[in-house]
Amino acid sequence: MNTGRKGLLLILLLVFMLVGPLAPRPAHALGTSRLVNLNSGLCLDDAGWSTNWGTPMIQYACTGGSNQQWSVYYHYGNNQAAQWVVLQNVYSGLCLRVFEGKTTTYGQIIVQWGCDSNDLAQNLFQTESLQSGCNLTAFQYQSVYIPGAQPTGFMMEVYHASRSNGGKVDIWYTNGTRTQFWCGLF
């Protein structure tokens, strides 16, 4: 092996050791936006600008910070019909999921977690209305992706319809209330 190749491999090894493996990004990027809760007018927020796995998501006054910016990636298709999406925080690079993947009980909190493609089913939400402009959408949580299967029936919402900074974000039975709808500018 020539000296140039050895040097390049050494540099790549050092970068990997310093940065770590890059989180895989899901396919079919829709765009990046803040997500504003229709009920409260507050943004989905990575509290305290955390980069830790398991950090609970909250709603907070919209600041324009990258901790309130979410990249949305389509999965299993790229049309305007029902979609499976992954929501990835721009600041932390982590994805939304239900805490510990516990989806059989309503009230489970939404946290940020690694975007591991080997465990991607834990990060999937379904939506039927993502499109350009300020669209109102509900993110229905799917615990395990099975082609053609029905989602769990739980929606991402703000707990107890809170309108306060710091209100926790969780999953709850689909009920069509304003607290279960989010506006994104894609």
DSSP structure string for 56-79: BEEEE-----GGG-EEEEEES--S
Out of 3.90.78.10, 3.40.30.10, 2.80.10.50, 3.90.1300.10, select the CATH number for domain 23-185.
2.80.10.50
Do the Cβ atoms of 97 and 113 come closer than 8 Å? yes
CA distance 4 to 42: 53
Between 154 and 49, residue with greater pLDDT: 49
> What is 108-142 written as a DSSP string?
PBEEEE---GGGGGGG-EEES---SSEEEE--EE-
In this prediction, residue 135 carries a pLDDT of 57
For residue 54, the Cα-to-chain-centroid distance in whole angstroms is 13
Q: Quick: pLDDT tens for 126-148.
A: 665 544 445 556 676 654 443 44
Look up the pTM and report it: 0.74
pLDDT at 68: 97
Q: Do 55 and 46 touch, CB atoms closer than 8 A?
A: yes
Between these two residues, 129 and 182, which has the higher pLDDT value? 182
Task: Determine what percent of the chain is predicted with pLDDT higher than 70.
Answer: 56
Interval 18-55: pLDDT, tens: 333 344 444 567 788 899 998 999 999 999 999 999 99
What does the domain layout of the chain look like in residue ranges? 23-185
- Higher per-residue confidence, 98 vs 90: 90
